[in-house]
Structures are given as C-alpha cells and as structure tokens.
Amino acid sequence: MFTVFVDGQEGTTGLQIKERLDKHPEVTLLEIDPAERKSVDARQALLNAADVAFLCLPDSAAKESAALVTNDTTRLIDASTAHRTDPAWVYGLPEINAEQRQRIAQSRRVANPGCHATGFNLLVAPLVARGLLHPSTPLSCQSLTGYSGGGKAMIAQYEDADTEQRARLQGPAHYGLNLNHKHLPEMQAVCGLALPPVFTPVVGPFYQGMVVTVPLHAAQLTMPNRHAEAVRDALAEHYADSTFVQVQPYNVEGSVDGGFINPQAANGTNQNQIFVFGHGERILLMSRLDNLGKGASGAAVQNMNIMMGLPEQLSL
C-alpha cells in the first residue's frame, strides 16, 4: 500500500485525481485539515510523508511545493505547466516513444502533460520520430475542448452566467488569439519541431471532452506512400501495444459518428482515440480524449501506477 498526497485537491484536476484514488486498491490518501490548506508547515509534512504527491497548483505554487520536498523518497507528479520542458523532470506521456515508460518508472519527478498537448503530441511526435514528417514542417492545430479545461473560474462563467451572458456562451469560442498558449513549448519540444505550431484552441458549451485536429497536405510528408491510409497504418504500428492510445480503422468516407466527430465520446475514460481522414492530397489527423481523463487526472494516475510498478490501467 502506497501513501499519496494531493496538494491542491480542491481544484478541478485535484478533485478528479482524488476521485480516481478513492477507488484505487493500492493507495492510502493523506488528507490535510481544511483549516491548514494554506499552512506551509502542514503541507510540507504531508509532502514529505507521502510515497507519491500530486501537485495540482498554479505554476508558481507548484514550484514552491516541489522545493518543500527535502527527502529522497517522495516522488512528485506535477499537473501544472511549470516543469513540462524542464530537463530535470520526465515528461509524463508514456506512449510517446519506446523509452518513455521506463523513464517515467525510474523518475522521482514527472511532469504531467497538458490536455491540448497530449492530443497534438500523440499525433505528430511518431511521424517526426519515424522520419515521415520533417521537423521543420510548419504545422497548424485546432483543439475543441469543454469548458472544464478552464478550471473553476471558467466553469463558473458557464454554469453561473446570467441570461445575457449564457446566450453569448452558446456557441464555440476561439481563445488564445495572441498565439502564445501555455501548451506550445511542450508541443514543440516533445515533437522536436523547429517551429511551434499555429495553435487555435476553441472552448465549447459542454463540460468535458476534446478533439485535437492537425491538417496536413500529403506533399508535406516524406514517406513514399503519402496517402492518408498509410499515415494511419504508421500510427497504428507505433501504438500497437498501447493500452490507452487506440488508432481507429481508416474510414475513406469520414462517416464516423454519422459524419460528425463527437468530442464527448471518450469522456469518462483514459483513452486517446486517433483518427486519420483524407486521401492522397489532404490529410486530417484527429485525437479524441477526455480533457479531464487522459488530458489531466487520468494521465496523472497512469503515471503514478507506472512509477510505483503497478498495473498501468489500475483504477482507470
């Protein structure tokens, strides 16, 4: 039995992690007295008493909490963006290459990926690593997500809105229009890209669920057969042994979900479903995932299982 502390369990990701850990057969949760949530001494004691601690905090607070660990035994999983490109931390996306799972298993510091970045990296990184897409290729990406991805403030904005504001929030809304979204550094670094993608996130009027889309011209690929089906087959080969990344059959008509991709169809799972549509001229790569599952808390628990030598799918 392992002891686990969730530092910041009141936030959206922290609550979801705790929900998964409550039914985990190999975990004992260390709870902080609500009156001491802001006590540095109380938090430090629990951080150093835990076998594993999740940091579900803003970036600056996550860095502060990481510095409070003074022993050589507590293993940290940071759900913030603070350490995702830090070479001292291992990037917590075990499916990204053949070595990553072992790196996570051996590490004391793991940075949980961002939700948009998870969908993008699982589509693009294998193509770059296999030499099928040159690292200097300019890419674009659009990601549609439920409003829970914005945390408590955005959830309140959608669910507690007055009549006028509610009407304004009925349709999808583009954001991050300064093109400096916080997930861009990890998207570029993990995929080994020379340039960050032009990334357009979109929030929809639904609680959770996500679809990440990367369009390609077949001419951008360096593989001999540049047809969409060949790209799908390359991704299927890469993820053949994966429990949580599932490459869907090639569908020449694009008739999945009656011609519409439902962004909520992977909700409640830790799955990332990959679709490849198109033909020999234009190709569409798509990832569908639960932004609160494989995009956040599910991925964090998966990383914990790997780090502690437990079955990867336990409690997921």
pLDDT tens-digit series, residues 14-30: 999 999 999 999 999 99
Average pLDDT score over residue span 53-81: 96
Residue 165 has pLDDT above 80, yes or no: no
Residue 276 has pLDDT above 80, yes or no: yes
Q: How confident is the model at residue 254 (pLDDT cuts 50, 70, 90)?
A: confident
Q: How confident is the model at residue 263 (pLDDT cuts 50, 70, 90)?
A: very high
pTM score, whole prediction: 0.95
pLDDT in tens, 238-251: 999 999 999 999 98
**Right CATH number for 115-291 from 3.40.50.1110, 3.40.47.10, 3.30.360.10, 1.20.1250.20?**
3.30.360.10
Average pLDDT score over residue span 78-106: 97
191 flagged as catalytic = no
| Class at the top of the CATH hierarchy for domain 2-112+296-307 | alpha beta
d(C-alpha 133, C-alpha 181), whole Å:
23
- The residues of the chain that CATH labels 3.30.360.10 are 115-291
pLDDT in tens, 113-135: 999 999 999 999 999 999 999 99
d(C-alpha 8, C-alpha 151), whole Å:
13
d(C-alpha 193, C-alpha 204), whole Å:
28
Q: Supply angle C-alpha 16, 202, 217, rounded to 5.
A: 115
In the prediction, which pLDDT does 170 show?
81
- The residues of the chain that CATH labels 3.40.50.720 are 2-112+296-307
Q: Which of 52 and 158 is assigned the larger pLDDT?
A: 52
pLDDT in tens, 205-232: 999 999 999 999 999 999 999 999 999 9
Amino acid 159 reads E
Average pLDDT score over residue span 159-187: 84
Q: Taking a C-beta distance cutoff of 8 angstroms, is the pair 77, 55 a contact?
A: yes
In the prediction, which pLDDT does 225 show?
92
Q: Taking a C-beta distance cutoff of 8 angstroms, is the pair 287, 212 a contact?
A: yes
Question: What tokens appear for 298 in the block?
Answer: 């599910």
Q: How confident is the model at residue 163 (pLDDT cuts 50, 70, 90)?
A: low
Residue 183 has pLDDT above 70, yes or no: yes
Residue 9 has pLDDT above 90, yes or no: no
In the prediction, which pLDDT does 164 show?
67
Q: Which residue in 56, 115, 141, 191 is the catalytic one? A: 115
Question: How distant, in Å, are the alpha carbons of 164, 178, 268, 275 from that of 309?
Answer: 51, 42, 24, 31
Average pLDDT score over residue span 136-158: 89
Q: Provide, rounded to the nearest whole percent, the portion of the chain with pLDDT above 70.
A: 98
In the prediction, which pLDDT does 37 show?
83
In the prediction, which pLDDT does 20 show?
95
In the prediction, which pLDDT does 166 show?
67
pLDDT in tens, 191-203: 999 999 999 999 9
Residue 161 has pLDDT above 70, yes or no: no
In the prediction, which pLDDT does 202 show?
96
Residue 35 has pLDDT above 90, yes or no: no
